[in-house]
Amino acid sequence: MPAATAIAQLRDRLGADVVTDDPAECWSYGYDNSRRHVAPAAVVRPDSPESVKTAIEICNQTRTPVTARGYGSGTTGAAVPSNGGIVLSTERLTTIHRIDPDNRAAVVQAGVTNGAVQRAVAEHGFFWAPDPTSADYSTVGGNLACNAAGPRAVKYGTTRDNTLGLRAVTGDGRELRTGVYTTKGVVGYDLTRLLIGSEGTLALITEATLMLRPLPEAICTIRAVYSDVNSAAAAVARIMAQPVIPRVLELMDEAATNLVRSSVTLPADGRALLLVEVDGPAAHLDDAAAAIHTVAGPGLVAFDQSVDDHHREELWSARRALSPALRTLAPEKINEDVVVPVSRLSELIAALVGIGNDHGVTIVNFGHAGNGNIHVNLLGQTDQLPDMRRCLAKLMQTVVSLGGTLSGEHGVGLDKRDFVGLEIEPETLGLMRAIKQQFDPNGILNPGKMFPDLPGL
Ligand SMILES: Cc1cc2nc3c(=O)[nH]c(=O)nc-3n(C[C@H](O)[C@H](O)[C@H](O)COP(=O)(O)OP(=O)(O)OC[C@H]3O[C@@H](n4cnc5c(N)ncnc54)[C@H](O)[C@@H]3O)c2cc1C
């Protein structure tokens, strides 16, 4: 059935203010941060879970693809409507229904930004652990669909670890409520964790019950500068093996450290750095920082710590200067977010030096080392793109051979589909496809994403 039929029905049932096929508006809903672009046939902006259900019922009956969209900040093409159809934007689902300090929970609609949630719950002395850098321009629904996270995940976990339940609509228009309103619960299969990270391929999330944590009384930031990246990577494993769990444990390799040297004062012999934070009662932080210092060497060149907000910000400045500096380095950039066990970080970094040298590609590495999650940036001129793609394939093989995973937080989308078979065995992939079939029998939800093509297709 042509998309025009679906659009007419959507407009009829939901109203002209909810549905638009104006080409200029559709154009602006066709991209994400992967720089891919495909304009949808229409954009639907429901203002209630009930209208989401109606929209999906119509799309299912008319076999119209539906790509869910939060703020389009994803980096893998997952929100790009590559198979046509409609984009269903959650931008009007912005109600915070409840903040419940006694039960450490909040119930919010999917289109609320992460930043808005943080500000609202902070007034009650709480935070929601997922802290992507994109907090102010990414939605809770997008965070859930990608299992997004940030530096705090090393202590507090990812979106999946901090969500109690969901309200969602499957591809055939069934409304589900998953999970519990308690911090324990074991009745039935855990569909909450299944839907989180499913990139809009199983159901459209309309509402979430978030698990809140009390804001810490104080935070101590530490910047540990190293003579070389291997020493820094080895220190990561030692820090994670001792009892004080850092709330942040970020690494910058030599290329990353050199990039920010002109804007940040660093020791001349410093060629890598770790940014560490510990949090908790103010009276405990000196001991916690001392525990980190005890295991920080060898190779340590400088160790600065502070609980003062101004000085803490100065210690963060090297990390904050990095993303803007990276943008100026080369016209082409492939940014990956691979993960390896922390004990194998040194091997990953060594392999990356070899891969870069073999292909003449600049590689800059930094990221959430406490989780073994490294943002690997392959940089080059446009005519180097084939070499960069060869590096990428080698990187993915290396990560899997080290016992790691292709993506820690950005997800698969369109960009990593071809590599999924390296990590997930055919039998397991077959089971995943069967689960997709149960949730979305006609394959209308975000088609063409996450899974590699079937052989012969
Ligand atoms: C500058 C920058 C910094 C970033 N930093 C981080 C970071 O630190 N950590 C991190 O994890 N990510 C980061 N990201 C990636 C991105 O912001 C996150 O993946 C974010 O969670 C996406 O949210 P969104 O609302 O923009 O989702 P979109 O990009 O709109 O969508 C992403 C995926 O979620 C699906 N989706 C969206 N809403 C729903 C819904 N309600 N139900 C079902 N599926 C849905 C979409 O179909 C798509 O598959 C960053 C991106 C940028 C541009």
- CATH class name, domain 216-327: alpha beta
Where in the sequence of the chain do the CATH 3.30.70.2740 domains occur? 329-410+422-441
Is the confidence at residue 1, as pLDDT, over 80? no
Ligand 1 site residues (CB inside 6 A) read 32-33, 67-75, 78-79, 90, 110, 132-134, 138-139, 141-143, 145-146, 148-150, 199-200, 204-205, 409-410, 446
Q: Whose CA is nearest to atom 44 of ligand 1?
A: 200
Predicted structure pTM score = 0.96
Over the stretch 111-160, which tens digit does the pLDDT of each residue have?
999 999 999 999 999 999 999 999 999 999 999 999 999 999 999 999 99
Over the stretch 222-238, which tens digit does the pLDDT of each residue have?
999 999 999 999 999 99
What residue type is assigned to position 45 of the chain? R
What residue type is assigned to position 311 of the chain? H
Quick one: tokens of 332?
A: 């082409």
The percent of residues in the chain predicted with pLDDT above 90, rounded, is 94
CA distances (Å), origin 318, targets 24, 25, 171, 219, 303: 40, 39, 45, 18, 14
**CATH number 3.30.43.10 is the correct assignment for the domain at 3-89:** yes
- pLDDT at residue number 99: 98
Find the distance separating the first CA and the last CA of the chain, reported in whole Å: 23
Where in the sequence of the chain do the CATH 3.30.43.10 domains occur? 3-89
- pLDDT at residue number 329: 85
Where in the sequence of the chain do the CATH 3.30.465.10 domains occur? 96-214
Where in the sequence of the chain do the CATH 3.30.70.2190 domains occur? 216-327
- Strands 86-89 vs 42-44: parallel, antiparallel or unpaired: parallel
Calculate the average pLDDT of the chain: 96
Question: Which residues, listed in sequence order, are joined to residue 127 by a DSSP beta bridge?
Answer: 213
Q: Which residues contact 443 (CB under 8 A, 6 or more apart)?
A: 171, 436, 437
Ligand 1: centre distance to CA 439 (Å): 21
**HSE (side-chain half, CA atoms, 13 Å) at 372:** 21
Ligand 1: centre distance to CA 79 (Å): 8
- CATH code, 329-410+422-441: 3.30.70.2740
| Rg (alpha carbons) of the chain, rounded to whole number | 23
What residue type is assigned to position 63 of the chain? R
Tell me which fold the domain 96-214 belongs to.
Answer: 3.30.465
